[in-house]
């Protein structure tokens, strides 16, 4: 795997299928700036698209079947309408592609057969949403190859269905919204109840800032079970408080709500969700006012809340946050569901390398495997390249 990601997709296409692709479509990974475990509580999130992309080189196949190749796996996978129409028939990574075909067909679209070659710079399984990137890139390719009528605002829901119902991964709408609707120099404010989105100015480059993304490389310990437990706890708390979801607990009513709950753990879970929603709203207000540096304390407060109240961080993650702050980051927090994954830190662009080196040194001191580091600016969403 070397060279530009789009060139690799084209080279893969030529090598696997012969001839030239009809076009190339790309979709980015994403990172969530703030708003963790708020999505399933009908609350707010604020992700942005990354400059790392998954690219699909594609052309129509006249036999009405689909062939997919990814540089992550030498073996191409082939399937037809029968396999696409039955979730589970195509498994492994190609299920993400078959799932998109399935979701399009289930929504009544006539999907053309296609040959697809996929290359990606999005790290797989690190929490930067390589899954939404592959879905969104394949979706963009199939929609255009087939001349299908599917406006951008309806695409996130369809890609989410592919992942939920065909792949079988119970994820919310955030990832697909961010990678499809993200805009350069902006973060995407998403209301998970109404699914309304709003572009919020977040022009780090113009402000001389950057986000340092640190891949903790921590093994995901018990992540699925713990996620389910947090979710259940939030649902039970909402029921006990007589609200549809924790989003309905106003910040000003938090203390009164907490007083009505009878165990300390539930109180802390609720406090995280309610204060986190408020931190997203406060972040949006500051960004609207162009005060990017001032969101730093909100990011750090979000981390403390995840560590102390929601209890979803691990030592590698806490170490990365502390080291980034000590090295001068304006704010830092874990991003993603927890128990591993990535940390993000808001830094001066010219300090990004110093902060990254400080985190790497802190990891070495603690005997942790070296972290991955990456400096990013908010990028655009899924699009056709040529
Ligand atoms: P994340 O979205 O955080 O990267 P997920 O577990 O949700 O992690 O999705 C990762 C899975 O998506 C991979 O295991 C693979 O099945 C699929 N995938 C993502 N990108 C690619 C790619 N470029 N080629 C093949 N499969 C991919
Ligand atoms: Mg994913």
- 114-155 pLDDT, tens digit each: 999 999 999 999 999 999 999 999 999 999 999 999 999 999
- Residue 52 assigned ligand-binding role: no
- 265-295 pLDDT, tens digit each: 999 999 999 999 999 999 999 999 999 999 9
Average pLDDT over the chain reads: 97
Q: How many Å apart are CA 327 and CA 318, to the nearest integer?
A: 14
Rounded mean pLDDT, 216-239: 91
- Residue pair 187/48 in contact by the 8 Å Cβ criterion: yes
Active site residue 353: no
Ligand 1 mean position, distance from CA 129 (Å):
7
Which of 6, 27, 124, 127 is the best mutation target for the ligand 1 pocket, counting ligand atoms within 8 Å of the beta carbon and taking the most? Answer: 124
Query: What pLDDT does residue 2 have?
Result: 54
Cβ within 8 Å of residue 300, ≥6 positions away: 321, 325, 331, 332, 333
Query: What pLDDT does residue 302 have?
Result: 99
- 155-195 pLDDT, tens digit each: 999 999 999 999 999 888 999 999 999 999 999 999 999 99
Query: What pLDDT does residue 265 have?
Result: 98
- Residue pair 140/25 in contact by the 8 Å Cβ criterion: yes
Beta strands of 173-293 (E only): which ranges? 186-191, 197-201, 209-215
- Residue pair 344/302 in contact by the 8 Å Cβ criterion: no
Q: Pick from 29, 33, 28, 27: which is nearest to 336 by CA? A: 33
Which secondary structure element, helix H or strand E, spans residue 29, and what is its range? strand 23-32
**pTM for this model (two decimals):** 0.96
Maximum distance among all Cα pairs of the chain, rounded to whole angstroms: 68
Give me the DSSP letters along 49-103: EEEEEEEEEEEE-TTS-EEEEETTEEEEEEE-HHHHTSTTSS-GGGHHHHHHHHH
127 close to ligand 1 (CB < 6 Angstrom) = yes
Domain segments of the chain as ranges: 2-200, 203-376
CATH number for the domain formed by residue range(s) 203-376: 3.30.70.890
Q: Residue 296 is encoded by which pair of tokens?
A: 């730093």
Q: How many helices (H) does the chain have, and how many strands (E)? A: 12, 13
Q: Residue 349 is encoded by which pair of tokens?
A: 């662009």
Number of Cβ within a 10 Å radius of residue 200: 20
Fold of the domain spanning 2-200: Ribosomal Protein S5; domain 2 (3.30.230)
- Residue 163 assigned ligand-binding role: yes
Rounded mean pLDDT, 202-214: 98
What confidence tier does 221 reach under pLDDT thresholds 50, 70, 90?
confident
Ligand 2 mean position, distance from CA 107 (Å):
22
Q: Is the pLDDT of residue 1 over 70?
A: no
131 close to ligand 1 (CB < 6 Angstrom) = yes
The protein residue whose alpha carbon is closest to atom 11 in ligand 1 is: 131
Q: Pick from 255, 231, 183, 165: which is nearest to 28 by CA? A: 183
Helix, strand or coil, per DSSP, at residue 185: coil
Ligand 2 mean position, distance from CA 364 (Å):
29
Rounded mean pLDDT, 87-114: 98
Check 42, 121, 175, 277 and give the catalytic one: 175
DSSP 202: -
Ligand 1 atom nearest the C-alpha of 120 is 23
């Amino acid at each position: 795997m070397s060279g530009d990601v789009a060139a690799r997709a084209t080279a893969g296409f030529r090598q696997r299928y012969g001839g030239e692709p009809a076009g190339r479509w790309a979709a980015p990974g994403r990172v969530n700036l703030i708003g963790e475990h708020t999505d399933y509580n009908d609350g707010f999130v604020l992700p942005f698209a990354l400059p790392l992309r998954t690219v699909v080189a594609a052309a129509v196949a006249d036999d009405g079947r689909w062939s997919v190749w990814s540089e992550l796996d030498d073996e191409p996978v082939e399937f037809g309408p029968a396999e696409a129409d039955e979730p589970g028939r195509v498994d492994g990574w190609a299920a993400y592609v078959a799932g998109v075909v399935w979701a399009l067909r289930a929504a009544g679209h006539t999907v053309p057969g296609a040959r697809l070659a996929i290359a990606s710079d999005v790290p797989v399984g690190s929490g930067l949403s390589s899954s939404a990137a592959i879905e969104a890139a394949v979706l963009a390719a199939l929609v255009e190859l087939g001349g299908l009528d599917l406006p951008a605002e309806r695409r996130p829901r369809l890609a989410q269905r592919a992942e939920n119902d065909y792949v079988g991964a119970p994820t919310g709408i955030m990832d697909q919204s961010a990678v499809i609707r993200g805009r350069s120099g902006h973060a995407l404010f998403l209301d998970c109840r109404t699914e309304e989105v709003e572009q919020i100015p977040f022009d780090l480059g113009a402000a001389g800032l950057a986000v340092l993304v640190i891949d903790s490389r921590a093994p995901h310990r018990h992540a699925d079970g713990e996620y389910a437990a947090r979710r259940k706890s939030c649902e039970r708390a909402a029921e006990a408080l007589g609200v549809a979801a924790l989003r309905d607990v106003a910040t000003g009513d938090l203390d009164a709500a907490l007083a009505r709950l009878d165990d300390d753990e539930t109180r802390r879970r609720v406090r995280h969700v309610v204060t986190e929603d408020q931190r997203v709203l406060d972040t949006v207000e500051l960004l609207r006012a162009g005060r990017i540096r001032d969101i730093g304390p909100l990011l750090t407060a979000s981390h403390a809340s995840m560590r102390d109240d929601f209890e979803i961080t691990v030592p590698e993650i806490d170490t990365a946050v502390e080291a980034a702050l000590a090295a001068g980051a304006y704010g830092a927090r874990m991003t993603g569901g927890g128990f591993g994954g990535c940390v993000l830190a808001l830094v001066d662009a010219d300090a990004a390398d110093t902060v990254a080196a400080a985190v790497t040194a802190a990891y070495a001191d603690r005997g942790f495997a070296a972290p991955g580091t990456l400096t990013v600016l908010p990028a655009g969403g899924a699009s056709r390249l040529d």
